[in-house]
Amino acid sequence: MNNKMIKTMKSKSIIGAALVAIFTLGATTSCTDMFDIESSRVVYEQDHDLSSTADSAYTTMGVLQCLRQVADRYIILGEVRGDLVDINEHTKTSLRNLAEFNFEDENEYLNVRDYYAIINNCNYALAKMDTTLTHNNERVMIDEYAALLGIRAWTYMQLGINYGKVPYYTNPITTVADSEKDYPKLGIKELAAELIPQLTPYVDYDLPVFLGTNKVFPVLQLIVADLYLWSGDYLNACDTYMDYMTTHKDFNYSYGETGNMEFFRGYMGFNGSMIEPITGATGLLSNAVIMTNWDDYLETAFGTNGYENIAYIPMERSKANGIVSEIAGLFHSFDNTHPLNPSTYYGEICTSQDYIKGSIDKTTGELTSSYSINVMANGDQRRKNNTGSVSVSDEIFNVFNKFSSMDASTGTIELYTPMINLYRRAIVYLRAAEALNGLAKETSSGELAEMSFNLLKDAYKVFFPEGHVLEKQLQEAFIGVHARGCGNVHLDTTHYVLKPEVIAAKLEKEGMAVEGNLNDTINYLDILIIDELAMEAALEGNRFGDLIRFAERRGEPEFLAKRVASRKGKENLDEELYNKLMDKENWYLPLK
C-alpha cells in the first residue's frame, strides 16, 4: 500500500469520525462520548430542523461544549513546540514527542477528530438554521448563525496552522457516503480564501450572549484580520485590525477627571496598566513586583469579567460540571513534578530588556522623577509575574505562575484555569504591529514602520496622530504594549528607539546583516515584535504559530529553527533539533 493511499485512508477516517459528531440538541451535551458509532446522540439529516430559537440556542451551546474539548490543546500545541517552554524528567512521552517533533508514535494530542466534530456540528447547524425567522422585524437566529460561522472558521484556522493542509468541507456529513468522498486539502492561505468571504458579511452582527457574556465566541472581524495576516495580505490585515480597534462598539474608553469627562469609542486604552518592581525592596521581596491598574490587566486578562479579554473558552471548576482545564498543572506544581518548565531562552528574552523608570506630571508634562534605566530591577517585569520559584525541602525549582491564582480567603495558591484566552487587547495590538511592519516592507514606507513601532512604544501617537487636548493624561492611558513590563518606555530617547545606531547594534547582536536602509528598520521591528509576543503572550497558545508566520513572511526557516533550538539558551543550541526544523515539512503535525 503506497503512502498516497495511506494518507487518503487517514483523511477519510478523520472525516468519517465527523459522521458521529452530530448530537441531540441540549446545553449539557458532552462531546466525549460522541465517537461511538452506535451512540443514541447521532442525529441524521432527516431527524431535525433548527426552526426555533430554542433549537438554535441549544445547538450553539452544544458547539461551545465541543470547543472545550480542544481548549487545552490550543495551548499545548502552540507552546510545547515553541521556544518559551522546555521539557524535564517528569515530561510524559506524548508531550516530549511534541517538543522534540517526533510524530511517528500514537499521541493523544495529534487526534484531529475533536476539531472535525466542531466543524461538522457547525456545518449541520448552519445548514439547518432558519435565519429568515423574525420577531419584531428582527432576524432572531442571525446572531447564532454568525457565531457558528466564526467558530467553524477559527477551528479551520487552527487546523491549518498546526497541520498544514487539511480536509475542507462545509456540508454536514450525515451519511457514510458523505464521509467517503474525497474532500480537497487546503493550506492556511487557501483556507483564508474560502473563509474570509463567508465571514465578511456578518462581521457587524452582534454575537449572542451565553453564560452572561458574548466573549465565549471568537470575534469574526479578528478572525478575518488573522486570516489576512496569514495570507500575507498586509493591507487588508492592517485595515481590519485598525478598524476593529477604533470603531468596534464593544471597545470603549473613557477618561474621567473632576469636571472633565471624555468618551472615545473603540480606542483600546491599557489604562496605564504596568508591572513594576517594588521600590527599595530587599531580601525575599527583592524580586517582587506590584501592579498598577491591576484590575485592567493580568487579573482580568485571565478572569471571565476582564476588560482585557475579547474572546475565551470558559472551563469548569469541577469535573462534575463538565470539562476542567489541566493547563495550570502542566506548568506548576508544589513538589517539582510538573512536566513543563520556562525555557532558558524565555528568560534571556526578558532579562535582555531595558526597564525604564520615570514619570511625568499630567498637567505640565514634565518629569516628576529622574529618568533612569534598570533601576532596582533588570529587564521585563512580566516574567516575574508569569514565573516563580517554589521551595520544597531546600530544593528550589521554577514554575510558570500565569495560570495559578491565590484564594483570597486562605491565601493559598490554586491551580485553576477558568478560561483559555483566544483574543485579548494586547494580542490585537501586536498583530496589528506585525501587519503594519509587513506592509511597511511591501510599500517601502518608513511612516508605516514608525506606526508599527508606536503600537509597542507609544500608542497615543497611533490613535491620536493629530494630538488631543488631554494629551498628557491620554499618553499614559494609551501606552504601548512594551510598557506593560518595561516601564515608561515612551520617555526613552536612547534605547528603545528607531535610531540607526540602535538598530544596527540589535541586528548585529542577532547575527543579521546591516544594510543601512529601511530593511534594517523592518528587521529590527520583527525582532522587537516577536520578542514582545513572547513577553506579553507567553503560554497563551500562539507561540509556534507566530514563529511559523514570521519565518514564512521573511522566507527564513532559520527564524523559527534557531529560536526553538535555543530553548536551553542561545549558547546551547540543539543542533539536531535545529537541523530538523530547517525543513519546513517538520513544522506540521500529521493528520491522525
Local structure of residue 197 (DSSP, 8 states): H
Which amino acid is located at 239 in the chain?
D
Cα distances from 577 to residues 83, 220, 567, in angstroms, run 12, 37, 10
Which of 144-153, 240-249, 259-268, 308-317 tops mean pLDDT? 144-153
Give the phi and the psi of residue 421 in degrees, each rounded to 5. Answer: -70, 135
Across the chain, what does the average pLDDT equal?
83
Give the H or E element holding residue 500: helix 500-509
Angle between helices 220-231 and 234-247 (to 10 degrees): 160
Give the phi and the psi of residue 218 in degrees, each rounded to 5. Answer: -65, 140
Residue 455 in contact with residue 433, Cβ under 8 Å? yes
What's the pLDDT at 4? 42
Q: Which cell goes with 131?
A: 435565519
3-state class (DSSP) for residue 181:
coil
- What are 319-359's pLDDT values in tens digits? 888 899 999 999 988 888 999 999 999 999 999 999 988 77
Give the phi and the psi of residue 209 in degrees, each rounded to 5. Answer: -95, 120
Taking residues 265-272, report their average pLDDT: 61
3-state class (DSSP) for residue 83:
coil
Q: Which cell goes with 356?
A: 525604564
- Helix and strand numbers, DSSP H then E, in the chain: 24, 18
* CA 225 to the chain's CA centroid: 13
Cα distances from 61 to residues 132, 150, 311, 413, in angstroms, run 21, 14, 16, 32
Band of residue 48 on the pLDDT scale cut at 50, 70, 90: low
Band of residue 433 on the pLDDT scale cut at 50, 70, 90: very high
Band of residue 461 on the pLDDT scale cut at 50, 70, 90: very high
Q: Which cell goes with 296?
A: 485592567
Residue 64 in contact with residue 216, Cβ under 8 Å? yes
Neighbours of 122 (CB within 10 A): 26
Neighbours of 163 (CB within 10 A): 21
Which of 70-79, 419-428, 464-473 tops mean pLDDT? 70-79
Q: Which cell goes with 130?
A: 432558519
3-state class (DSSP) for residue 244:
helix
Residues comprising the chain, all counted? 592
Residue 356 in contact with residue 491, Cβ under 8 Å? yes
Residue 556 in contact with residue 565, Cβ under 8 Å? no
pTM: 0.89
What's the pLDDT at 507? 97
Taking residues 103-120, report their average pLDDT: 92
Which of 26-30, 170-174, 378-382 tops mean pLDDT? 170-174
Cα distances from 351 to residues 374, 383, 572, in angstroms, run 10, 9, 17
- What are 125-142's pLDDT values in tens digits? 999 888 787 777 777 789
Local structure of residue 459 (DSSP, 8 states): T
* CA 41 to the chain's CA centroid: 33
The domains found in the chain, sorted by start residue, are 3-207 (1.25.40), 243-554 (no CATH)
Residue 119 predicted with pLDDT over 90: yes
What's the pLDDT at 50? 59
Residue 22: partners with Cβ closer than 8 Å, 6 or more residues away: 42, 43, 44, 120, 121, 124, 172, 174
Identify any residues that bridge with 291 across adjacent strands, giving them in sequence order: 275
- Distance, in Å, from the CA atom of 41 to the CA atom of 45, rounded to the nearest integer, reads 13
3-state class (DSSP) for residue 18:
helix
- Distance, in Å, from the CA atom of 474 to the CA atom of 255, rounded to the nearest integer, reads 8
When comparing pLDDT for 28 and 368, which is higher?
368
- Distance, in Å, from the CA atom of 386 to the CA atom of 429, rounded to the nearest integer, reads 20
Per residue, the 3-state secondary structure of 98-159, as one string, reads HHHCCCCCCCCCCCCHHHHHHHHHHHHHHHHECCCCEECCEECCHHHHHHHHHHHHHHHHHH
